[in-house]
Amino acid sequence: MNKLTTTIMLALLACGSPLWADDNHRGRADKHAPASLMGDHVHKPGEWMVEYKYMNMYMNGNRVGDQRLSDQDAILWGATSDPVTNRGASPTEMTHEMHMLHLMRGYTENVTLYAMIMMPSITMDHIRGPMNPAGAGTFFTTHNSGFGDTSFGALVRLYYDDDDDVILNLGGSAPTGRIFRISSLPTDGAMEQPLPYPMRLGSGTFNAKPGITWKRYFDFGSFGTQFQTDLPIGHNYRGYSVSDEFRLNNWYSHLLTENLSTSIRVENLWRTNYGGADPMAPDGLISTNVESFRGGYSLNLGLGCAALLNAHLLNVEFVPTLYQNLNGIQLETDWTMAASWSKSF
């Protein structure tokens, strides 16, 4: 091998040229991470990907730390908590659905740009507390839906060979989701108040979302690990900031055939409490107004499958919660699920 050939080969390796990679690995059913995750792959220059993703999170019952409380116990606990809360109502159940349109375009061999439009739909059930003018012990439901925050960014492939990808996510989000809406349902028309924090459609701030992913492909499947963050920048116009969020995911996808795979994933999720406060969201009314009751830790298990059908990728994952330790009193998360369709062209 002459000196010129050696130099060219080393330069191609340093650049992560696709001449050095086995693209067959990246054309199988396990080419993407499990359905709940994003930011794990790049595209060729000029290549587009369109994806529709649906996610659903179901929460039932309240938890203090790692201890579950009944609906009545949640109201009683609020009478002696710091701060006192749940005098107006206590949440009992919540369903948070999310519809997402995800667009990606390969810019260079190692840089892919992306944007994502989100439309949340949030429904929360409550039981009225002892100071509610509509009557203690009665029930009501609130709902909110519309555009959420818009995500965007660049995926930068730092390293690439036959079997490995290391991808840096330089992402962020813009505050396009509405964070202030008034409702009189909690008091059956007696007074109006803003919807509490979990029912708001966005963060109200620009958020930084840096992350990094490593994937390794084998003949029989693939392994991945990802660290992803969501960090609000400053306070929004209502005077608060949502949680800093940190997610560490590890998964393994196993090929049943080239076009069908199953996956198992373990997620560690940490959230901080909110910063600041909305002056129109008093703590005493309901625990979902309390900024110091928003953080905690969750351990989740993802079970998924993916099918590649005529270049269309169908991806689904069910994620039960294994363990939670929450700050203050909060609705616990029982499970989430995600399903997506994507196509590259």
In degrees, to the nearest 5, what angle opens at C-alpha 187 toward C-alphas 329 and 56? 50
**What residues contact 10, with CB distance under 8 A and at least 6 apart?**
none
Q: What is the mean pLDDT of residues 330-340?
A: 98
Averaged pLDDT score across all residues of the chain = 93
Top pLDDT among 18 and 254 is at 254
Both tokens assigned to 232: 């609000």
Instruction: Please report the pLDDT score of residue 12 as a whole number.
Output: 36
Question: What is the percent of the chain with per-residue pLDDT over 90, rounded to a whole number?
Answer: 91
Domain 22-344: give its CATH code. 2.40.160.40
Give 15's pLDDT tier (boundaries 50, 70, 90): very low
Length of the chain: 345
Quote the CA–CA distance of 6 and 305 in Å, as a whole number: 42
Q: Residue ranges per domain, the chain?
A: 22-344
Top pLDDT among 175 and 12 is at 175
Q: What is the mean pLDDT of residues 267-293?
A: 97
pTM, two decimals, is 0.90
Instruction: Please report the pLDDT score of residue 23 as a whole number.
Output: 64
Q: Rounded to the nearest 10 degrees, how much is the dihedral formed by the CA atoms of 71, 72, 74, 76?
A: 170
Instruction: Indicate if the pLDDT at residue 18 is higher than 80.
Output: no
Quote the CA–CA distance of 333 and 231 in Å, as a whole number: 21
Instruction: Please report the pLDDT score of residue 10 as a whole number.
Output: 41
Instruction: Indicate if the pLDDT at residue 93 is higher than 50.
Output: yes
Instruction: Indicate if the pLDDT at residue 262 is higher than 50.
Output: yes
Instruction: Indicate if the pLDDT at residue 22 is higher than 90.
Output: no
Q: What is the mean pLDDT of residues 324-338?
A: 98
Across 24-38, 166-180, 231-245, 248-262, least confident range: 24-38
Instruction: Indicate if the pLDDT at residue 14 is higher than 70.
Output: no
Instruction: Indicate if the pLDDT at residue 9 is higher than 70.
Output: no
Quote the CA–CA distance of 55 and 78 in Å, as a whole number: 31
In degrees, to the nearest 5, what angle opens at C-alpha 194 toward C-alphas 191 and 198? 135
Q: What is the mean pLDDT of residues 126-136?
A: 96
